[in-house]
Amino acid sequence: MNYLSKKLINIETYISVSNTTTLEEYKEKDWGSIGEIRSEITNKKVAVFLNRLPNSEIIQDFVIWFFENIYDRSYHAIGLQRNIHLYKKSSEGSFDIDKDFLFRLEFNDKEGNLYLRFERGNLKTALSENLDILKQIKTYNRSKKHIVLHSDINNDILNNIKINLKKLVQNLP
């Protein structure tokens, strides 16, 4: 792939991830090393996303759990503008935003819910063969291909989501 093609892919990736505006004017909070993780696409820190989350400890804790237990910089890349896109990396460390998309962590400000979306716009998950694992989760919507975390979700459902999400990502094709 020539130099110009690589640059065009990076521009396409940035435009795809940043198709919404973002506000970084949320109160800053110290998120430790998790907040310092940077997007490979936009170079924004995860703290930008975490600072958008309101006083929902459950949702904040889930996102921190995600980065401590699922995300591995060696195997995953993130795109971050207003929401977080997770991609799988090849053995060389590269990724294609269309082919290697796993899911999106999307916070809905109006509803106060966190969505794990396995399809969004033109993106379809590379995990589609393994999505049957998610049928065990009460808040998984099969037709919309997303999991909803409400700010008042109970611990049993939350733990079930964590267990099955971990299984799903560990069984990457």
Tokens of 159: 């733990």
User: For the packed helices 57-69 and 155-170, what is the interaxial angle rounded to 10 degrees?
Assistant: 20
Give the DSSP letter string of 34-46.
HHH-B-TTT--BH
Q: Which whole-number Å values give the CA distances from 48 to 22, 80, 117, in the listed order?
A: 9, 9, 19
Q: What is the pTM of this model?
A: 0.80
- Digit-coded pLDDT (tens) for 7-47: 666 666 655 554 444 444 445 577 889 999 999 999 999 99
Q: Which whole-number Å values give the CA distances from 163 to 27, 52, 148, 169, in the listed order?
A: 31, 25, 15, 10
- Digit-coded pLDDT (tens) for 104-160: 999 998 999 999 999 988 999 998 888 888 888 999 999 999 999 998 999 999 999
- Digit-coded pLDDT (tens) for 49-67: 999 987 788 999 999 999 9
Q: Are 51 and 29 in contact, with CB atoms under 8 Å apart?
A: yes
